[in-house]
Amino acid sequence: MQRCCLMVLAAMLSLVVVGGYQLYCWLYPQPVTCTLDLVRPQKFKVDVTEFFAPRVSAAVQLVLSLRNRNMLRSMLLEQCKLVAYEASTGLKLGSVQQGSLVLAPFSTTQATVTLSGLASSLPGEEQRRLAVEFLGQKALLLTIVATASSRLPFKGSKSTQLATNSSRRVDLSTHTKEPFFQRAPQPVPDEPAPSEAAPADVP
| Complete domains list, the chain, with CATH | 30-173 (2.60.40.10)
3-class DSSP state for residue 119?
coil
Separation of alpha carbons 82 and 47, rounded Å: 26
Number of H helices, E strands in the chain: 2, 9
pLDDT at residue 36, as a whole number: 96
The one-digit pLDDT tens for each residue of the chain (203 residues) are: 777 887 878 878 787 776 776 676 778 899 999 999 999 999 988 888 887 788 888 999 999 999 999 988 999 999 999 999 999 999 999 999 999 999 999 999 999 999 999 988 899 889 888 888 888 888 989 999 999 999 999 999 999 999 999 999 999 888 877 888 787 776 766 666 566 555 555 55
Separation of alpha carbons 196 and 95, rounded Å: 56
Paired strand residues for 82: 96, 146
pLDDT at residue 202, as a whole number: 53
Paired strand residues for 64: 36, 111
Distance of CA 186 to the CA centre of its chain: 33
Which residue in 117, 98, 120 sits closest to 60, CA to CA?
117
pLDDT at residue 201, as a whole number: 54
pLDDT at residue 134, as a whole number: 83
Separation of alpha carbons 182 and 47, rounded Å: 6
Can you give the pTM of this predicted structure?
0.80
* Number of CB atoms found within 10 A of residue 123's CB: 8
What phi and psi, each to the nearest 5 degrees, are found at residue 137? -90, -20
* Contact yes or no for 140/169 (Cβ under 8 A): yes
3-class DSSP state for residue 99?
coil
Separation of alpha carbons 98 and 144, rounded Å: 14
Q: What is the DSSP letter of 190?
A: P
pLDDT at residue 199, as a whole number: 56
Burial class, 144, CB count within 10 angstroms (exposed 0-12 / middle 13-18 / buried 19+): buried
